Amino acid sequence: MTKSNLKNTPKVLGLDISTKTIGWALFDLETQNLLELTHVSPVIKPKPEDKMEELMFKVDAFEDKLNDYKNMGITKIVIEEPLLNSNNIWTVGTLLRYNSMISRSIYKTLGIIPNYISTYNSRKFAWPSLVQENNKGKRVLFGGLPKDIDKKELIWKKVSDKEPQITWLYTRNNTLKKECFDQADAYTCVLGYMNKEGIW
């Protein structure tokens, strides 16, 4: 959907942030309809030697896109909190800094303080059917499913089933591109947050 087709009604934007790709899901706040599902993958050339400088350039690229939506009626932004499950302290620190930089950019550009939701709650409240009994009789997310199940692909399938009109990106080998999972996570974080807070 082109920006010219976006009516000036209240909207909620969901973001799934990684240092390579930001998943982007825009919804009409009142109708709950999906308006746009895409991603931002800024490629900085030449690539700076300093990682923080590269992140700053990427924030600038994100801000350029955000500026295009400045008068599109976005009133709420939801960000999926980063998964801090890496043993690499540098990786965790970089992701936290980048999330902070993006949040600051959002406030600077749109005057909105983002809302945050954990990955677990995002999936739990967006897709309650995935909360099932595990082998201990406790109802948990992905309970009863094989431990080695591809959770990202499962979430993508949920979004794909709910939004059959979406055209997804595929590689030459006919496998889903990674960006599709980022987009599905952005979609899920909006749905999860709005359900969790009782807004939808």
Q: What region, left, alpha or beta, does residue 32 occupy, with left being phi > 0 and alpha being psi -120 to 50 degrees?
A: left
- Predicted pLDDT of residue 85: 67
- Quick one: pLDDT band at residue 175, thresholds 50, 70, 90? very high
The mean pLDDT value for 5-22 works out to 88
pLDDT in tens, 55-103: 999 999 999 999 999 989 999 999 999 877 666 777 888 899 999 999 9
Instruction: Name, in order, each residue with C-beta under 8 angstroms of 93's C-beta and a sequence gap of 6 or more.
Output: none
Say whether pLDDT at 197 is over 60. Answer: yes
Mean pLDDT to the nearest integer, 116-138? 95
Q: Which of 60, 74, 98, 71 is nearest to 24 (CA)?
A: 74
- CATH code linked to domain 8-196: 3.30.420.10
Helices 151-162, 178-196: inter-axial angle, 10-degree rounding: 70
Query: pTM for this one?
Result: 0.93
Residue 5 pLDDT exceeds 90: no
pLDDT confidence of residue 83: 78
Indicate the DSSP class of residue 11: E
**54-64 residue pLDDT tens:** 999 999 999 99
Is the pLDDT at 147 greater than 90? The verdict is no
Side chain identity at residue 10, one-letter code:
P
* Pair 192, 117: CB distance under 8 Å: yes
Phi/psi for 2 (5° steps) reads -80, 155
Q: In the structure encoding, which two tokens stand for residue 92, read together?
A: 């965790």
- Give per-residue pLDDT as tens, 24-53: 999 999 999 999 999 999 888 888 999 899
pLDDT at 188: 98
CA-nearest of 174, 138, 162 to 184 is 162
What is the spatial distance between Cα 130 and Cα 6, in angstroms, rounded to a whole number?
32
Q: Which residues pair with 22 in a beta bridge?
A: 17, 40
